[in-house]
Amino acid sequence: MTPRLVMGLGLAALVSAGAAGAVWQAEHVRPVTREAGAFLLPSLADNVNSVAGIAVRADDKTLELKRVDDSWMVEPSGYPVKAGKLQQVLVGLVRMTKLEPRTASAEKYTVINVEDASGSGSKSRRVTLKNSKGDIVGDVILGKAAPGHTIGSEEAQYVRLAGDRQSWLVRGSVAAGGELKDWVDTTVMRINAGTVKQVDFHGPDGDVLTLSKAGKDDKGNDRFEIQGLPEGVKPKDELAVRYGATDLANVEFTDVRKAVGQTGATGLVLLTTDNGMKITYQTFEDGGQTWLRVAVTEKGSDADDADKIISRVGGWEFAVAEYKAKQFKKQLSDFLNMQQ
């Protein structure tokens, strides 16, 4: 082995050791302190019922939550926060207890994800709590989880109070993400795919593509066929036909807003279930996204299920991911070998 190669390997080892050392120092700074055992946010317990707004800053984006009476909603849409989420977060913050100080060096914050949450690509989350007057009653930067630092199943996490250089290992953990899906139930539609009887895709040119249930295949799965095919013409993939119909039984949204009555729908899809419920999806494009308006036009024999859907989708418009948007825009050519 040449001296130059040995030197190169040695330098690489030093760099690796240096990086490992930085990680160790960020996670294992343990000076003696009288603060260990104290609550991270000591005044929050007395003020938790006054919290009326929460801002979560993550990856250079801010998600705003607002309390209205006894309910919480996401701003600006007003969509409800899922049950129990706010209680989980607030109780978790109240209970956080300092175990040991960690790094106070800004250069090492990224090791434990307690860096400034306003930077693009940041992995930290800054949670700011305000009362109805706009006064801050809690402001903390949540870092990564710290498994193995507590006894039994109790969790631990790295955190830093906003405006304070000192980071901490605390007893307790709070999951407060900066994405809409972290706070709300993103379900638009969730019905048993096995109950789908027929789906009609109404294209912008007036054509209608109908996929309907037609017995079982040799494996016992529901088989769907394309209505109106000329004799001798078959789909290139029967499984794709089945998925083309049943994929619309389960739909999640990426964004939501109150229905504002936009015109110019680009498509209409009608889904019919075995019990006679009819669900319509209207699609339209806005801001580079595909949005849905959803309605139950016939309840069928299971009015309870229909009412739950009506309660969830009524008065809202939902943006869907690009891959899901394509599932609402099926055409006959998507299922046929065009060389037939």
The kind and range of the H/E element at 281 are: strand 278-286
- pLDDT confidence of residue 261: 66
- pLDDT confidence of residue 14: 33
The kind and range of the H/E element at 324 are: helix 322-327
Among the ranges given (16-30, 70-84, 197-211, 220-234), the one the predictor scored with the smallest mean pLDDT: 16-30
pLDDT (tens digit per residue) in 79-107:
999 989 999 999 999 999 999 999 999 99
- pLDDT confidence of residue 119: 83
pLDDT > 90: what percent of the chain? 72
Short-list 282, 273, 325, 328, CA closest to 302: 273
Average pLDDT over residues 311-334: 95
- pLDDT confidence of residue 266: 79
- pLDDT confidence of residue 24: 39
Average pLDDT over residues 171-180: 94
Among the ranges given (2-11, 25-34, 67-76), the one the predictor scored with the smallest mean pLDDT: 2-11
Top-confidence residue, 310 or 34: 310
pLDDT (tens digit per residue) in 160-175:
999 999 999 999 999 9
- pLDDT confidence of residue 236: 87
Coil vs helix vs strand at 43: coil
Asked if residue 29 has pLDDT above 50, the reply is: no
Give this prediction's pTM.
Answer: 0.82
Asked if residue 13 has pLDDT above 80, the reply is: no
Q: Which residues of 176-212 are buried (b: 16+ CB within 10 A; e: fewer)?
A: bebebebbbbbebbebeeebbbbbbbbeeeeeebbbb
Token duo for residue 76: 């600006």
Average pLDDT value over all residues in the chain? 87
- pLDDT confidence of residue 111: 96
Token duo for residue 287: 């801001």
pLDDT (tens digit per residue) in 235-290:
988 999 999 999 999 999 999 999 976 666 778 999 999 999 999 999 999 988 99
